[in-house]
Structure 1
Amino acid sequence: MKRRFFVFLLFSLVSIHAFGLELRGSWQQGGVIVGKVPDGSQIEYRGKKLQLSSLREFVIGLGRDAPDYATLVVIDAQGGRTEHKFAVKQRSYNIQRVTGVPQQTVEPDPEQVARARREAQMAADARKGNLPLRFFAQEFVWPLVGPITGVYGSQRVYNGVPNSPHYGVDIARPVGTVVNAPVGGVVTLVHPDMFFSGGTLIIDHGHGLSSTFIHLSEILVKKGDEIVQGQAIAKVGKTGRATGPHLDWRMNWFEERVDPQLLVGAMPSQ
């Protein structure tokens, strides 16, 4: 079978139409790409065919450490395969090295570690779904307005031991400030008090794309609820291992951690 190869070197925000393949999003580490294929076609990424919406839309997420290139394969109605290769912009992250930290901070209590692992598995299970929802294709908005105090990808190294990178965007607001849904979805996890993340809420936007909101003081929805953009879903808190009141908003495409800021742009003026 004849193959055709087309290479696109794309960085930052893009919106393109090429050979029937429509794409919009950010081809950089942490980016989310929403696409659409022609009638009768399928799309393949990393060796797997992706779910398509009723409008033939799909979504992929590029992780924090995504490689230099990503390839999408369009399979037409006759089985012909066209490969589209995209350059992925590599990002520089803020790495802080901290020494003199008490060893119990670097090596938590084994019971706490066991609890945290159980809770992490609960969150991972809540993100596994491939629900046939198309909220992922909507334009995202900020869940609240406030100062940004933490960004995606940053990392601390304590006494030479790397901590897990920060995968969300932190927004500082007083306890009790209402958090609104950045886009519609279905609630897949509600937990009042996880060890690290405190009050935790996960919303599935469809096709593997989900939002996680943590350190919440109160959650206003329940598991299984279908919500709409702008709906009040929770309140800001300082629960879990938070050092002060703020919202930590994170996003996943299945197991890939993506950057919410790349979907919403600059923070509006307060």
Structure 2
Amino acid sequence: MTLASCTAVPTTQVSQRATSQERERAPAPKPAPAPEPSRPATFAFAGELTQGGWIKGTAPGGTQSLSLDGESIDVGENGGFFVAFDRDAKPVASLIATLRSGAKVVQRLTIAPRDWQIENVNIARRRSGPSEAFMALRRPELARIQAARALDTGAAGWRQDFIWPVTGRISGRFGSQRVYRGEPGSYHSGIDITSGVSGTPFVAPADGVVVLAAKKPFTLEGNLLMIDHGMGLNSAFLHCSEILVEEGERVRQGQTIGRIGSTGRATGPHLHWSMKWNEARLDPILLTGPMR
């Protein structure tokens, strides 16, 4: 009887082949997550520490929550934040970061006063309030404005260097005010840019989301357009002759969004641009720098 010959395969060789096959079937290892960028132990920020001004920067590493004079502030990716100071802000503000450890980092901010354009007039301030007929129209408009400002769209335009929406003659400055026989009237809440021609286009000063685009003129603002830039910062453009974007639309810095007009309570074609951060009113020129 003839025996068939066979060749024995070394155990180590079989083991090596199996290991190779297992490697081919095994999924590729996942890359290790990128480490969180290191952050400073204190606040890092820059901006305009003055009435109507602002700062933006980075909160200390490990920040769990942030507040300005007791008001809660959103903290963005990698600890980014934006805060601003009202036209009548007090001389000192406190920025407080509460860390995950429970410790607090306190940053004292000195807010410089501004020399506002004040006009003293020798007439009594009008005492008669708005009529009920007017308020019947005005209340729903104010509700829409308030609701638009409360929207959180996640926009990141607050991180950008703002640009002028249009160039022209500045005919009304932020913070200017009339005083009637010693009694202050309301101050001008934005900046007026006069083009002289109705229909002149204007652009978005920074990225954002349209939160209000009036389909018909408001009683005071006329055709009103509002854009959220994120972190509680928004722009309002008043007296437009035409609005070229829709509510919910994302706009880019430099994109044409409307045309200047004189709708609402206006004496001639101009763009009234006002800005708010939460309840604080800002001076737009402190975000753009002088017009060139």
User: What is the number of equivalent residue pairs in this alignment?
Assistant: 251
Q: Is this contact kept in 2: 1:144–1:178, CA < 8 A?
A: yes
Q: How far apart are residue 19 of structure 1 and its match?
A: 4.2
Q: 2:150 aligns to what SS in structure 1?
A: coil
* Alpha carbons of structure 1 residues 248 and 190: separation in structure 2 relative to 1, 3 Å: same
For 1:220, the equivalent position in structure 2 comes to: 244
Report the equivalent of 2:59: 37
Q: Secondary structure at the match of 1:127?
A: helix
**Is contact 1:53-1:133 (8 Å) kept?**
no
Residue pair 1:131, 1:208 contacting (<8 A) in 2 also: no
Write out per-residue CA displacement over residues 120-146 of structure 1, whole angstroms, 9 at most, x where no aligned residue. 232122112333322111110000111
With a CA cutoff of 8 Å and minimum separation of 6, indicate the structure with the bigger relative contact order.
Answer: 1
For structure 1, which runs of at least 5 residues remain unmatched after alignment?
A: 1-16
Equivalent residue, structure 2, for 1:266: 290
1:199 paired to 2:244: no
Residue 44 of structure 1 deviates from its aligned partner by 2.1
**How is 1:114-125 mapped onto 2 (pairs within 5 angstroms)?**
114-125=136-147
Query: Which structure carries more helix by proportion?
Result: 2
Distance across 2 between alignment mates of 1:19 and 1:99:
55
- Residue 254 of structure 1 deviates from its aligned partner by 1.4
Paired letter, 2:147 = D
Question: Could you tell me which amino acid in structure 2 is paired with residue 119 of structure 1?
Answer: E
Q: 1:167-206 maps to which residues of 2 (within 5 A)?
A: 167-173=189-195, 174-191=197-214, 192-206=216-230
The Cα shift of 1:60 comes to 1.0
Alignment of 1:245-260 (within 5 A): 245-260=269-284
Q: Pick from 60, 63, 66: which aligns with 2:83? A: 60
Change (3 A) 1:159 1:48: closer
- Unpaired segments ≥5 residues, structure 2: 1-38
In structure 2, the residue matched to 1:11 is: none
Q: Within 2, Cα distance between the matches of 1:203 and 1:159?
A: 38
1:159/1:219 CA distance change after superposition, 3 Å: farther
Matched AA of 1:25: G
Of 156, 160, 164, the residue aligned with 1:138 is 160
The aligned residue for residue 5 of structure 2 is: none
Q: Structure 1 pair 97/114, CA: closer, same or farther in 2 (3 Å)? A: farther
Q: If each structure's strand is expressed as a fraction of its own residues, which one has the higher value?
A: 1
Q: Match for 1:47: what amino acid? A: G
SS, match of residue 213 in structure 1: strand
Deviations 1:137-170 (A, max 9, x none): 1110000111111111112245776432111011
Distance 1:35 1:230, change over 3 A: same
Larger Rg: 2
User: 1:166 & 1:70 partners in 2: Cα distance?
Assistant: 24
Q: Over residues 66-116 of structure 1, what are the superposed CA-to-partner deviations in whole Å (9 max), with x where a residue is unaligned?
A: 111011112233221121101101112222244568969x64443224423
Shift in Å, 1:219: 0.2
1:244 to 262, 268, 290: 268
The match for 2:185 is 163
Q: Quote the offset at 1:266 in angstroms.
A: 0.5
Q: Which of 97, 106, 111 lines up with 1:83 in the alignment?
A: 106
Q: Please state how far the C-alpha of 1:258 moved relative to its aligned partner.
A: 1.0
- CA separation of 1:103/1:262 partners in 2, compared to 1, >3 Å: closer, same or farther? closer
The one-letter code of the counterpart of 1:188 is: V
Q: Secondary structure at the match of 1:262?
A: helix
Bigger CA drift: 28-37 or 70-79? 70-79
